[in-house]
Amino acid sequence: MAIEPDFLFPLLRGADIKRWKSSPVYQVLIPHDPEDPAKGFPVTEMQAKAPKTYSYLKRFEEILRGRSGFKLYFDTDRAPFYSVYNVGSYTFADHKVCWREVANELIVAVSSPIGEKVPVPDHTLVTVECASADEAHYLCALLNSSPSNFIVRGYVALHPSPHILKYIRIGKFDPKENLHRSLAANSKALHEATAAANTDALAALEAENLKLAAEYWGLEKSEVADIKASLEELS
């Protein structure tokens, strides 16, 4: 059935996140206003702005009203029947850091707008909203680094949930800090090299990532060597 594109967004799943690469394949219908995302787009406005989308959703009204999440988290007499739970400003943030929630290691990438559309992560991803592309790449560089993976693989069996940020010390991004800017630039370069499948550049950039992360956390060369050896054993 034909619908308008207004509420269609690239869908970002766990399978779409690779190390240094975010590549959504499918689209998802989120009938919410990014400016007021707590509940579905008002019915009367939906009928006027996107009548085909409304007609499509109307076919499933009984099913949509019967959802446990809809009945639990929304005022069923006032909220549009197509409202989606757990949608907020973070859902539509331009720049997000995402990692797989089902994995035994950190597999992290930055998600940025695709044209005029913002990718929307599903429940198989952990996401962190960032204020800028530089902040997102700074965070991604540190999370994808060997020291971070060493910490996570040392105590996480399968689900690197948001709690990992309690154990990996990452300070707020400061654009005035040279090291912070260098980490962001490194992540951007790694995303570009990954997209281009440039294996030679990847190897050099990964080595730079480890050097920058070691500087950030004040790690000695011997400690870096121990981390690398331990990760090889875990692999």
- Compute the average pLDDT of residues 137-150: 97
* Whole-number Å distance between alpha carbons of 145 and 106: 9
Q: Alpha-carbon distance 155 to 132, whole Å? A: 31
pLDDT tens per residue across span 186-212: 999 999 999 999 999 999 999 999 999
Cα separation of 78 and 158, whole Å?
Answer: 40
Q: Residue 102 has what pLDDT?
A: 87
Same domain, 22 and 106: no
Position 158 pLDDT exceeds 90: no
> Do 61 and 133 have their domain in common?
no
Report pLDDT digits (tens) over 17-40: 999 999 999 999 999 998 899 899
In angstroms, the CA 98 to CA 96 distance is 6
The average pLDDT across 5-9 equals 96
- Residue 79 resides in a domain: no
pLDDT tens sequence across 49-95: 999 999 999 999 999 999 999 999 999 999 999 999 999 999 999 99
Report how many domains make up the chain: 2
Summary mean pLDDT of the chain? 94
Ramachandran angles phi, psi of 195, nearest 5°: -60, -35
Which among 43, 73, 103 is the end of a domain? 73
User: What pLDDT shows up at residue 51?
Assistant: 98
Last residue of a domain, one of 19, 39, 73: 73
Host domain of residue 136? 95-234
Contact 8, 57 (CB under 8 A): no
Q: Is residue 157 pLDDT above 70, yes or no?
A: no
Q: Is the pLDDT reported for residue 45 higher than 90?
A: yes
Same domain, 139 and 176: yes
Q: Can you read off the two tokens belonging to residue 211?
A: 């050097």
Domain boundary among 73, 106, 126: 73
Classify residue 80: in a domain, yes or no.
no
Calpha distance 57→27 (Å, rounded):
16
> What pTM, to 2 d.p., does this model score?
0.93
Q: pLDDT confidence of 164, banded at 50, 70, 90?
A: confident
| Percent of the chain at pLDDT exceeding 90 | 86
Q: Are both 104 and 43 inside the same structural domain?
A: no
